[in-house]
Amino acid sequence: MKVTKAVIPAAGLGTRVLPATKAMPKEMLTIVDKPAIQYIVEEAVNSGITDILIITNRGKGIIEDHFDRAPELEDRLIASGKNDVYDEIVSISKLANIYFVRQKETKGLGHAVNCARSFVGNEPFAVLYGDDVIIGDDPACGQLIRAYEKYGKAAVGIKAVPEDQIFKYSSLKVDHLEDNLYSCTDMIEKPKTKEAVLSLFSILGRCVLTPDIFDILDNTPPGAGGEIQLTDAMRTLAQSVGIIGVDYTGKRYDMGDKLGTLQATVEIALRNPKLGEPFRNYLKGIVADL
C-alpha cells in the first residue's frame, strides 16, 4: 500500500533548549529564514506524502498559524508589490493537507504517536520527529518509504552514533542486507550498561510504521524516563516480524539541542542561494581571528 500519510510529533517540552522554548515551540526555532518544522513538512511532501498530522499541545498554536493563510499580511505584500514573498507565503499553506491533534499529557513519543490512530486508520504511515531536520538531495522519508515498499516491513532511519553517546539514544541489533539497508531484530531505548548495547546504530528522526503499532502501543508500559517509548513498541515489531533499518543519506540536525541548532544555522545558511556567499565571506573573516 502506498504511504501517503505522515505524523509529526511536536508536543515535547523542549527542556534542552530552554529558555528559547519557554513560550515558543522548539519546532518553530528558525533555521536561516524558515522554522524547523517547515523543512520537515517539505521533506515529507517531497517524499510523496499528501496528508500530515502534527501532534501539538498547549502553547503550540503558532505552528497552526504558520501553515494557515495570513490574509492581512498577504494583502500588504500585494499592495507593496512584493509578489515573490507573497507567492512564497501563500505556498506554505498549500504544501499538504495538514491536520492537528493535541497530546493532552506529555507522556512520551510513543504516547504522542498513539494520538494518530484515527488519522492513520489501517494504512502504513511515516513518522518525522518534529525536532530532527534532515537535509539531503534524496529526502530521508522517501528513502524509508522505498525500503518499506521493497520489503513490506516497517522501516526505521538509522545512523551510527559515537560510543560515548549511545546511552542517550536507542541501540539496534542489525544484520547487513544490501547497500545501506539492514535487518533489525531487536532494539533497546537508552541502554544503561555497556553489555546492554546491541550496536552503535540508533534510530534517528524518521520511521515508516505499519498500523499494528497502535495495538502494541496500547499495551506498552512507561519505559526509560517514565515515558511511553516508541522504541519499546517498535521492539515488539522487530522481534516478531523484523524491521528494516535504513542508514539514510542526508545530514541530520538535532533542533532539540543547542549545539545542533547552531550547526543547522551555519550549514544551511552556507547552502542558501542568496546568503551563502556573503555568509561564507563573513565566516572566513571571523574564523581567522578565532
**Options 109, 208, 217, 244; binder of ligand UTP; rule CB under 6 A:** 109
Beta bridge partners of 53: 7, 99
12 belongs to the binding site for ligand UTP (CB under 6 A): yes
Q: Give the nearest distance from C-beta 178 to ligand UTP in angstroms.
A: 30
Q: Give the nearest distance from C-beta 201 to ligand UTP in angstroms.
A: 18
Task: Spell out the residues 6+ positions from residue 182 whose beta carbon is closer than 8 angstroms to its own.
Answer: 158, 172, 174, 175, 176, 201, 244, 245, 246, 247
**Options 4, 38, 47, 103; binder of ligand UTP; rule CB under 6 A:** 103
16 or 34: whose CB is closer to ligand UTP?
A: 16
One symbol per residue from 237 to 256: x for binding ligand UTP (CB under 6 A), - otherwise; what is it? -------------------x
Measuring CA to CA, how many Å separate 153 from each of 92, 143, 148, 282? 32, 14, 5, 47
116 or 147: whose CB is closer to ligand UTP?
A: 116
Q: Nearest residue by C-beta to ligand UTP?
A: 12
What distance in Å separates the CA atoms of residue 213 and residue 215, rounded to the nearest whole number? Answer: 6
Nearest to 190 by CA among 182, 202, 180, 179: 202
101 or 172: whose CB is closer to ligand UTP?
A: 101
130 or 181: whose CB is closer to ligand UTP?
A: 130
**Options 39, 86, 129, 182; binder of ligand UTP; rule CB under 6 A:** 129
Q: Give the nearest distance from C-beta 27 to ligand UTP in angstroms.
A: 6
42 or 149: whose CB is closer to ligand UTP?
A: 42
- Beta-strand pair 125-128/5-9: parallel
106 belongs to the binding site for ligand UTP (CB under 6 A): yes
92 belongs to the binding site for ligand UTP (CB under 6 A): no
Q: Give the nearest distance from C-beta 112 to ligand UTP in angstroms.
A: 3
260 belongs to the binding site for ligand UTP (CB under 6 A): no
Contacts to ligand UTP by CB under 6 A: 9-16, 55, 103, 106-109, 111-112, 129-131, 256
